[in-house]
Amino acid sequence: MTKKTYTDYFFDEPAYNTHDGGYVPLVEPDTPENKLVVPELLKPDKDTATDTYYTVEALAGETQLLPGAKTKTWGYNTSLLGKAILFEKGKMIHIDLKNSLPELTTFHWHGLNVPGPYVDGGCHAPVYPGETKHIDFKVIQPAATLWLHAHPCPSTAEQVWHGLAAPVIVKDVEEAKLPFPRNYGVDDIPVVLQDRKFHEDNQWDYNADYDPDGVQGPTAMINGTVNSYFDVTTQRVRLRFLDGANRREWRLHFSDDLVFTQIASDGGILPEPVKFTHLMLTCAERAEVIVDFKDYKPGSEVTLYSDDVPIMKFKVHEFKPDNVELPDHLVDINNPEATPDAPIHHIVMSGMDEEVMMDDKKFGMQRIDSTQQLGNVEYWDVTNTNDMEGGMVHPYHMHGTQFLVISRNGHEPYPNEHGYKDTVGVNPGETVRLKVWFDYAGVFMYHCHIIEHEDGGMMAQLEVIDPEHPQTYKLMDHHTLMKAFAEERGIKVEDLHLAGMTSYEKMNMDM
């Protein structure tokens, strides 16, 4: 039976970021083409059959992005973004988190099911300049494309903008059995989608570009490469898309409306492959797709667009014919029954600009906003109440879990939302029902992943409670965090400017 090919973006068009008052359209760069930088795989310090040891170091450096002066950037184990980190399901992972930056940071494992708040790496797990902290965890989730990024509220957005974002790849035996391309760097490629504005001497200036609804830039940057191209040497290529932008939605399509097949979402392989010509990703969402270049001859070029702007080219070379077909069914998805009589969580994302809130409150670092018992499977109804000028899509993210999208306003979720996810775009006026469970106890954040929105207060905290092993957590307080940032910058606390705090100040609220 022929599978349907989807040709629209699904999300509500009036809420696209193209309608934002502060929208910054992408512009095709006039600089020379650059070969796509494929992140190197981070080499383990030690690797055995059961354990893997890494050192992940946050660094300040310089990167040649445009002709002329190098751009000052931050990265993990490299000058920009990060080396790709590989985990294998079932292994114990041991990581030294080393901070060689001039200010505190955190290491948040976005999409990884680990204990919170310290291993998870949100704002309660600061690593100070010159300090190294150690974490250990067991990988218990299926193969997926996850990512590592900084999360020191309210400076998360600025640190990600500086470059702190790295691909994380989980592998398992089930994924290894499927007929997917998996020769890393050849036919299996992370594609980190970001945008920047370049100022004088090719530098970035976060404060100059600041917008409380999300910072954008006119230049697409793919894996830290401007005006990038990739040499296609195999018929099928697996692209692991990550929307790593602070604000931008990416509406992706290829020249000739080339059909591609999505095989995985945020948390792993989809139960069935889904064919698309157009795909929209909201901030922090991932989509693994397979592109088949069988109809193209050597010397051809295929262009990837976001909206109508070319962002990356694929230059086709000789390749061997590949007649492998994907099965109609890929993996079984665990869909546990909801715990009887468990409460339904009602979450409301409201506001735009400085007025963003979660459940009519801004984020409080030491406030627990919701609880869920470990082992329970509970429904979370997430509503976006935006009605200003068409509103905007808010990408809702939960730490420490991979959930299932059950419905959108009582109807079926989008065709590519039947697998595990940790981030879901919610349209204005829409309620998305999620089925949520946790593998570990701890304190976890949930928030909008327009990063300026989470810094501005559209964020809350959940405590997952294990009644048999009750725990008390030391949660970072706002005063201590601000004092540390000020001391690192050599200024008084009252002179400290962190862009995210303007949203609190304008509404006379505290973090």
Judge whether 486 lies within some domain.
no
- pLDDT value for 124: 96
Q: State the Cα–Cα distance between residues 289 and 326, nearest whole angstrom.
A: 12
pLDDT category of residue 410 using cuts at 50, 70 and 90: very high
Q: Is the domain of 161 the same as that of 43?
A: yes
3 state DSSP class of 411: strand
3 state DSSP class of 492: coil
Judge whether 479 lies within some domain.
no
pLDDT, tens digit (0-9, with 9 covering 90-100), for 149-163: 999 989 999 999 999
Would the pLDDT of 1 be above 60?
no
Q: Is the domain of 262 the same as that of 243?
A: yes
Domain encompassing residue 199: 5-12+182-316
Residues 6+ apart with CB under 8 A from 348: 358, 359, 360, 383, 385
Mean pLDDT of the region 183-191: 98
Q: Is the domain of 160 the same as that of 195?
A: no
Q: Is the domain of 165 the same as that of 196?
A: no
Mean pLDDT of the region 418-425: 98
Among residues 481, 485, 486, the alpha carbon closest in space to that of 510 is found at 481
From 126, 151, 177, the end of a domain falls on 177
- pLDDT value for 388: 64
Q: Is the domain of 252 the same as that of 118?
A: no
Find the helix or strand (DSSP H, E) in which 350 lies.
strand 345-350
Mean pLDDT of all residues in the chain?
A: 96
Q: Is the domain of 220 the same as that of 153?
A: no
Q: State the Cα–Cα distance between residues 369 and 463, nearest whole angstrom.
A: 8
- pLDDT value for 506: 83
In contact, 82 and 129? CB cutoff 8 Å: no
Q: Is the domain of 39 the same as that of 168?
A: yes
Amino acid letter at 472?
T
Q: Is the domain of 373 the same as that of 418?
A: yes
Would the pLDDT of 511 be above 80?
no
Tell me 74's DSSP state.
Answer: E
In contact, 46 and 53? CB cutoff 8 Å: yes
The b/e string for 70-106 (b: 16+ C-beta within 10 A; e otherwise) is ebbbbbbbbbbbbbbbbbbbebebbbebbbebebbbb
Judge whether 41 lies within some domain.
yes
- pLDDT value for 499: 86
From 177, 211, 226, the end of a domain falls on 177
In contact, 35 and 231? CB cutoff 8 Å: yes
- pLDDT value for 500: 84
Judge whether 59 lies within some domain.
yes
pLDDT, tens digit (0-9, with 9 covering 90-100), for 134-151: 999 999 999 999 999 999
Mean pLDDT of the region 31-44: 98
Would the pLDDT of 196 be above 70?
yes
Among residues 203, 275, 209, 290, the alpha carbon closest in space to that of 248 is found at 209
Q: State the Cα–Cα distance between residues 300 and 282, nearest whole angstrom.
A: 30
Q: Is the domain of 458 the same as that of 349?
A: yes
Would the pLDDT of 97 be above 70?
yes
Domain with residue 457: its CATH number is: 2.60.40.420
Among residues 85, 29, 37, 36, the alpha carbon closest in space to that of 57 is found at 85
Phi then psi dihedrals of residue 353, to 5 deg:
55, -135
- pLDDT value for 291: 98
Q: Is the pTM of this model over 0.85?
A: yes
Residue 221 vs residues 52, 190, 285, 309, 433: alpha-carbon distances, Å: 31, 13, 17, 13, 33
Judge whether 55 lies within some domain.
yes
Q: Is the domain of 60 the same as that of 166?
A: yes
Antiparallel, parallel or unpaired: β 85-88 and 144-149: unpaired
| Share above pLDDT 70 across residues of the chain, in percent, rounded to a whole number | 99
Judge whether 25 lies within some domain.
no
Q: Is the domain of 159 the same as that of 193?
A: no
pLDDT category of residue 31 using cuts at 50, 70 and 90: very high
CB atoms within 10 A of CB 205: 12
**Least-confidence region, from 314-318, 460-464, 496-500:** 496-500
**Domains: count for the chain:** 3
Residues 6+ apart with CB under 8 A from 203: 69, 71, 72
pLDDT, tens digit (0-9, with 9 covering 90-100), for 310-345: 999 999 999 999 999 999 999 999 999 999 999 999
| Share above pLDDT 90 across residues of the chain, in percent, rounded to a whole number | 91
Mean pLDDT of the region 10-26: 94
Judge whether 339 lies within some domain.
no
Q: Is the domain of 148 the same as that of 203?
A: no
From 448, 465, 482, the end of a domain falls on 465
- pLDDT value for 495: 86
Judge whether 291 lies within some domain.
yes
